[in-house]
Amino acid sequence: MTDIFIEGGRALLGGEFADAPLRIEDGEIGASGSRHGRGSLGLDASGLQVLPGIIDLHGDAFERQMMPRPGVDFPADVALADSDRQAIGNGITTVFHATTWSWEPGLRSADNARLLLEAIETMRPQLAADTRFHLRHETYNLDAEAEISQWLSDGRIDLFAFNDHMDSTVAGLAKPQKRSRMVERTGLSGEAFDELVARVVARANEVPASIARLAQAARNAKVRMLSHDDDSPQMREAFRGMGVNIAEFPVNEETARAAADAGDAIVFGAPNVVRGGSHTGWTRASDMIARGLCSVLASDYYYPAQLLAAFRLAADGVLPLARAWDLISAAPARAAGLSDRGILAEGYRADIILVDDEVPLRPRIVAVIAAGRLVHLTDSSRLIHAPAARREAVAAA
């Protein structure tokens, strides 16, 4: 693997920005001040921010590559390759594809969950981002329990979330526009969809025991768990009691505060920050961040959002950039148990991005290094074509 050195940029080191060069060797960040070898590749980061790669715990924008229009499917491997390029192009070097396995047919069906998992496992070596599988289990999907338990036992799931959208599904049946979207996604007729919902709802009494069994399976497999859209401190407490220590998109401040008081990781969507509020009308993420009630921002449904959100928080005076960046790098690494990334420090995995922030609120990715490999570069003039002798002289100076 070619060594890489980065010079001239403002690097985020130890929670502060400093004019410091970085060296990458064998996929890791090397000691400061170490010499460039003869096989080194140089990057001129003058005028740029040098930042840890973004870690996305929950991104489902890949669904648009799988089904760009209702009923229009593309192969999972094609969708995954395109999603990888999008993630890397937006500075995301570790991506957890948040795959919903629901009781529905169509986009969020068992078949698609299996296809995506198999594609990730097969294609992982050729993807630029470290690509992982975040299974979002719809808790009414009772027939999937045995297979999911086996996936957990076999180590195929990297994050496991409990979702319950049944109340909103039932409520949506009375709203023509929402009902139409749900029906289109499944490929069923309206009548068949109504019948399916009725059959699934009729098994509601079986759901709590299924959740408990799956939480136990995840604990046995040492897979970290999330609960989605917690709507009360009591709900958060119940999930925490089963070892679910990540609160994903709590719907009100009371629940977020209960999670924070207990030391849970709290995830909100970065699009919420960029757009100035939730598209559902729920909690405003910027307010939660200002009150210390959010520890992680995820891309949710839009890959560019994490990068944009960090700079938006800094521009709005909510957090300085170094702390805002923690929400999309070091904090998600901690929440996911990834102890080898998220900061720029010696011995850490070399996931590094170079960002041009000259235009306010429009940061631009110039280069991405993932696991020590230069995988994205928008400006070839940033390459340092210096002979080895000159590089060694500069390093020794």
Mean pLDDT, rounded, for 137-163: 97
What pLDDT digit, counting tens, does each position of 97-119 carry? 999 999 998 888 999 999 999 99
Q: Is the pLDDT of residue 394 over 50?
A: no
Backbone angles phi, psi at 296, to 5 degrees: -140, 140
Amino acid 33: pLDDT: 56
Q: Give percent of the chain above pLDDT 70.
A: 94
In whole angstroms, what is the distance from residue 356 CA to residue 361 CA? 11
The residues near 27 (Cβ < 8 Å, ≥ 6 apart) are 1, 349, 350, 371, 372, 373
In whole angstroms, what is the distance from residue 127 CA to residue 77 CA? 11
Type and span of the H or E element at 130: strand 130-138
Amino acid 37: pLDDT: 53
What angle, rounded to 10 degrees, do the helices at 190-201 and 176-186 form?
Answer: 90
What pLDDT digit, counting tens, does each position of 53-63 carry? 999 999 999 98
In whole angstroms, what is the distance from residue 55 CA to residue 59 CA? 10
Q: Is the pLDDT of residue 393 over 60?
A: no
Residue 184 pLDDT grade (very low, low, confident, very high; cuts 50, 70, 90):
confident
Q: Is the pLDDT of residue 396 over 50?
A: no
CB 227 within 8 A of CB 246: yes
CB 236 within 8 A of CB 247: yes
CATH class of 54-336: alpha beta
Boundaries of every domain in the chain? 4-52+344-396, 54-336
Q: Is the pLDDT of residue 208 over 70?
A: yes
Mean pLDDT, rounded, for 37-55: 89
What pLDDT digit, counting tens, does each position of 245-269 carry? 999 999 999 999 999 999 999 999 9
Give the E-state strand segments of 277-391 in sequence order: 296-298, 352-356, 364-370, 373-377, 383-384
Pick the CATH number of 4-52+344-396 from 3.30.450.20, 3.40.50.80, 2.30.40.10, 1.25.40.10: 2.30.40.10
Coil/strand/helix, residue 69: strand
For residue 253, count other CB atoms closer than 10 A to its CB.
Answer: 14
What pTM value is reported for the model?
0.92
In whole angstroms, what is the distance from residue 106 CA to residue 109 CA? 5
